[in-house]
């Protein structure tokens, strides 16, 4: 076995693995292990007065998380899918005959924190009062040769938590093992989508799947990821939204469709943005945006109750209350409320002046809608902590939304803002094909001016709504954002299992083959690299005597047990 580059603890564990093998123990057995209970079930069902029969013969499996060895008796904590339970091992129970190897050697010396074992025994309560399993027999199910971070806890206080975000995100498996609150946030993410899904299914809407690889990207304003299909010899984009496909299904006669969609946007990353993220989009025929607002309130309130049993959710220092009805502002009302300025009757020039007075950064390319949006973003959005609907947006920013039924220049659109961030976006969908074509054409003008996020004209989509799309309400709700709020998470990385990270750069291009080409054995070539000789040039300049010493030192220090090279040999390498 090649131990170069391993830490002391990793070497010790590999040695333990070898020793298990020489004892005839397969550390990675193939057979099913007949688990009949989880840790939590034992703790829940334990009854001192009336012990359930099945707790007298339990079989469970999991990971060893702590060990307290006291001579011929030991305690360990076993962590399984549902929690932890203390195990009690006694030498003479594990080893009923004369041979005490299973306890003295296998359990005490060759097992480690992190190993996965199965145990059979019975539930009991210790003198200290802790419900435990008295182990009669254990089986090694998987030897861990990589040490886990050690997290200790007493009276609810966590000591030495594994907390470095970089390590946690790069090594999520480890994070999930040692940080139970991380696991619980992800369980809540799934409970959230389950709750939303059953809400929508109960209403009779159909969950569907639409293309992720799209020849034209649309449905939102964002820069896409671009890829290529070889057989078709065609550019394809990863979707930035699925809106245009779901609407085609509405045209096709499905009156309610939804999709939990992974979308991809090639833009900045921060604690609210990951390049791939999840949106739930829903389209319901014959409804409008007022109806959709009611649905969003009802759905999110229900999710909160399903997850927390309450409409109130703790988020950092704040309490968010999802109880219906939520506050509703038109965008103009919101701006008036937070700036004191009524912009509803201003001309573009007057608006521009007000924006300057408010010190909102604007430039000449911005139209009226964009300026209003900038003012809203600067003065209103971050103030909206409790869930709030903002309605009636300027038409320029919303090429897929229907014109407002009574106010010129606006569309029937709303967003829900919560904790200063958008959590959903919805419209009365534009179903007038002539209007829709004109709006796309306006987008093309923007694109020609260099707006990278202007929408493309999607002829197939237009053809579909030309057939006739019923009046429809549409919704996109950010699942990651909503999960952050519902799980009290400060970063999107805490609700996505494997957030995007920059690749770790290797320390150097580790390639010992250049030394092997000089006739140096592979092991020694690797050691040369580890010792800092990373090029043939460095090797050529080395002092043969010193290098010989270094290599022999490595061998001894790391207990590699290799035959040391002779000084002559080393000199030959250097001079070859």
Partner RNA sequence: GCGCUCGUAACUCAGUUGGUAGAGUACGAAACUUUUAAUUUCGGAGUCGUGAGUUCGAAUCUCACCGGGCGCACCA
Return the residue of 2, 4, 7, 207 that touches RNA, per CB under 7 A: 7
Q: How far is the CB of 547 from RNA (least distance, A)?
A: 15
For position 56 contacting RNA by CB under 7 A, the verdict is no
Taking CB under 7 A as the binding criterion, the range among 119-127, 253-261, 295-303, 542-550 that sits at the site for RNA is: 119-127
Cross-strand bridge partners of residue 150: none
Query: Alpha-carbon distance 292 to 421, whole Å?
Result: 19
DSSP 3-state of 477: strand
> Which positions from 385 to 404 touch RNA by CB under 7 A, shown as an x/- string?
--------x---xx------
Distance from C-alpha of 437 to C-alpha of 195, rounded to nearest angstrom: 38
9 in contact with RNA (CB under 7 A): yes
> Measured from the CB of residue 221, what is the shortest distance to RNA in angstroms?
3
| Residue nearer to RNA on the CB measure, 169 or 289 | 169
Q: Does the footprint of RNA cover residue 493 (CB under 7 A)?
A: yes
How much helix, strand and coil, in percent to the nearest 5, is found in the chain?
Answer: 40, 25, 40
What is the smallest separation between the CB atom of 323 and RNA, expressed in angstroms?
26
Is 12 a binding residue for RNA by CB under 7 A? The answer is yes
DSSP bridge partners of 152: 159
Residue 332 contacts residue 342 (beta carbons within 8 Å): yes
Question: Encoding tokens for residue 196?
Answer: 């939303």
Least distance from RNA to the Cβ atom of residue 554, Å: 10
Q: How far is the CB of 41 from RNA (least distance, A)?
A: 19
503 lies in the binding site for RNA (CB under 7 A): yes
| Residue 183 within binding range of RNA, rule CB under 7 A | no
HSE at residue 241, side-chain half, CA atoms within 13 A, is 22
The answer to the question of residue 268 lying near RNA (CB under 7 A) is yes
Near RNA in 270-309, by CB under 7 A: 270-273
Q: How far is the CB of 523 from RNA (least distance, A)?
A: 16
Contact 413, 400 (CB under 8 A): no
Number of residues that bind RNA (CB under 7 A): 80
* Least distance (Å) between residue 30 CB and RNA: 26
11 touches 3 (CB < 8 A)? yes
Query: Per CB under 7 A, does 206 bind RNA?
Result: no
Closest CB to RNA among residues 112, 259: 112
Q: Which long-range contacts (CB under 8 A, 24 or more apart) does 380-384 make?
A: 380/334, 380/335, 380/337, 380/338, 381/417, 381/420, 381/421, 381/422, 382/420, 383/338, 383/420, 384/334, 384/417, 384/418, 384/420
Under the binding rule (CB under 7 A), the answer on residue 488 touching RNA is no
Contact pick of 52, 165, 471, 553 for RNA (by CB under 7 A): 165
Rounded Cα distance, 397 and 370, in Å? 7
């Amino acid at each position: 076995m090649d131990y170069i580059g391993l830490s002391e603890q990793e070497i010790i564990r590999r040695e333990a693995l070898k020793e298990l093998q020489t004892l005839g123990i397969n550390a990675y057995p193939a057979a099913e292990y007949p688990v009949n209970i989880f840790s939590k079930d034992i703790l829940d069902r334990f009854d001192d007065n009336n012990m359930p029969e099945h707790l007298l013969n339990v079989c469970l499996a999991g990971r060893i998380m702590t060990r307290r060895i006291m001579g011929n008796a030991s305690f360990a904590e076993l962590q399984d899918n549902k929690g932890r339970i203390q195990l009690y091992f006694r030498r003479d129970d594990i080893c009923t005959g004369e041979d005490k190897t299973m306890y003295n050697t296998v359990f005490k010396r060759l097992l480690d924190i992190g190993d996965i074992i199965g145990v059979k025994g019975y539930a009991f309560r210790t003198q200290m009062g802790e419900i435990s399993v008295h182990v009669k027999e254990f089986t090694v199910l998987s030897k861990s040769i990589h040490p886990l971070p050690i997290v200790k806890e007493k009276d609810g206080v966590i000591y030495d938590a594994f907390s470095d975000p970089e390590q946690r995100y790069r090594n999520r498996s480890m994070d999930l093992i040692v940080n139970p609150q991380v696991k619980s946030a992800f369980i809540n993410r799934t409970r959230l989508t389950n709750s939303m899904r059953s809400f929508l299914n109960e209403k009779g809407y159909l969950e569907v799947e639409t293309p992720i690889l799209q020849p034209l990207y649309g449905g939102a304003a964002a820069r896409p990821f671009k890829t290529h299909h070889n057989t078709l010899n065609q550019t394809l984009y990863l979707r930035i939204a699925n809106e245009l496909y779901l609407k085609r299904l509405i045209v096709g006669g499905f009156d309610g469709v939804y999709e939990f969609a992974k979308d991809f946007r090639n833009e900045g990353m921060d604690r609210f943005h990951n390049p791939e993220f999840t949106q739930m989009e829903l389209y319901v025929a014959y409804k409008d945006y007022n109806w959709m607002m009611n649905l969003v309130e009802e759905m999110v309130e229900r999710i909160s109750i399903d997850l927390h049993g309450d409409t109130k959710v703790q988020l950092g220092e704040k309490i968010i209350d999802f109880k219906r009805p939520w506050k509703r502002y038109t965008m103009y009302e919101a701006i008036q409320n937070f700036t004191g300025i009524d912009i509803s009757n201003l001309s573009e020039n007057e608006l521009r002046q007000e924006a300057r007075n408010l010190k909102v950064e604007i430039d000449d390319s911005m139209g009226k809608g964009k300026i209003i949006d900038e003012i809203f973003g600067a003065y209103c959005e971050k103030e909206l902590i409790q869930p709030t609907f903002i309605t009636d947006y300027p038409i320029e920013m919303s090429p897929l939304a229907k014109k407002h039924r009574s106010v010129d220049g606006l569309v029937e659109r709303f967003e829900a803002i919560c904790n200063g961030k958008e959590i959903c976006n919805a419209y009365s969908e534009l179903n007038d094909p002539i209007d829709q074509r004109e709006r796309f054409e306006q987008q093309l003008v923007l694109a020609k001016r260099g707006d990278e996020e202007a929408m493309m004209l999607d002829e197939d989509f237009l053809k579909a709504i030309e057939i006739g799309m019923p009046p429809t309400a549409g919704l996109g709700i950010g699942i990651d954002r909503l999960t952050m709020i519902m799980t009290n998470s400060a970063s999107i990385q805490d609700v996505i299992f494997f957030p995007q990270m920059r690749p770790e750069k290797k320390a150097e291009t580790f390639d010992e083959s250049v030394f092997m080409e000089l006739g140096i054995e592979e092991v020694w070539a690797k050691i040369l690299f580890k010792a800092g000789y990373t090029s043939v040039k460095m090797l050529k300049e080395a002092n043969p005597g010193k290098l010989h010493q270094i290599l022999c030192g490595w061998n001894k220090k790391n207990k590699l047990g290799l035959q040391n090279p002779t000084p002559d040999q080393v000199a030959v390498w250097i001079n070859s």
